[in-house]
């Protein structure tokens, strides 16, 4: 058996075992990412509403000053 073949098998096994050990952490991270994305979308909607409200009140203030 070639030494390089054995080396490749060992490296492949280490990567496979490492990815299996990290799988439970990824499941928890996946749930956290989902929660953070949901929160991010909600904050973007709130920010958009605040931008529109700010523009509305700024325009109302300009109109009031011009009269």
Interval 11-48: pLDDT, tens: 888 888 766 655 666 777 889 999 999 999 999 999 99
What is the residue extent of each domain of the chain?
A: 18-67
Q: How many residues does the chain have?
A: 67
Global pTM reads 0.53
Distance CA 60, CA 5 (A): 76
Asked if pLDDT for residue 64 goes beyond 70, the answer is: yes
Query: How many Cβ atoms from other residues are within 10 Å of residue 27's Cβ?
Result: 10
């Amino acid at each position: 058996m070639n030494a390089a073949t054995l080396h490749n098998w060992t490296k492949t096994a280490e990567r496979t075992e490492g990815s299996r050990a990290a799988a439970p952490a990824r499941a928890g991270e996946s749930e956290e990412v989902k929660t953070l994305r949901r929160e991010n979308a909600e904050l973007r909607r709130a920010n958009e509403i605040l931008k529109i409200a700010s523009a509305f009140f700024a325009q109302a203030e300009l109109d009031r000053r011009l009269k």
